[in-house]
Amino acid sequence: MDEHTPPGEKRDVPTVTCSRCDREWDLEYELGELCAGNAALEQFALDHRRHTGHFPDEVSPWQATCRQCPDREAFLRERPARRWAETHARHTSHDVALRDPEGAETVVEPGGS
Ligand SMILES: [Zn+2]
Ligand SMILES: [Zn+2]
């Protein structure tokens, strides 16, 4: 008999809320698919954004906003955000503002390395 995992023990399922949707979810579905806490929240955030157009409350995204056209994107990590800003600048010659989760903004300019 394995006594280390007693049946019926309450699992600690993280929850996530979204004030725009005025809803709360548990991440049991994501945890079941991914088996990892941080990845589950990240997956939820990406799915939520894909289907609703915004991130849930707990998530502070990186935001890349073009200064010269309506194009903008939000990302959970710096790397894809910076890549989006750099490729947008590269292909369109637009300046792109890149805002980190704390709100500090840098500008990615076309032709910068
Ligand atoms: Zn929402
Ligand atoms: Zn642009």
pLDDT band at 14 (very low <50, low <70, confident <90, very high): confident
**What global pTM score does this model have?**
0.71
- HSE on the CB side for 111, CA within 13 Å? 1
What is the amino acid identity at position 56?
P
Tell me which residue has tokens 């990615």.
108
Spacing, Cα 9 to ligand 2 middle (Å):
52
Confidence check: pLDDT of 93 > 90: yes
Q: Looking at the CA of 90, which ligand is closest?
A: 2
Spacing, Cα 92 to ligand 2 middle (Å):
6
Q: What is the pLDDT of residues 45-79, one digit of tens each?
A: 999 999 999 999 988 899 999 999 999 999 999 99
Q: Looking at the CA of 64, which ligand is closest?
A: 2
- As a whole number of angstroms, the distance between CA 12 and CA 37 comes to 11
- As a whole number of angstroms, the distance between CA 50 and CA 69 comes to 22
Domain residue ranges of the chain, discontinuous segments joined by +: 15-52, 62-108
Spacing, Cα 20 to ligand 1 middle (Å):
5
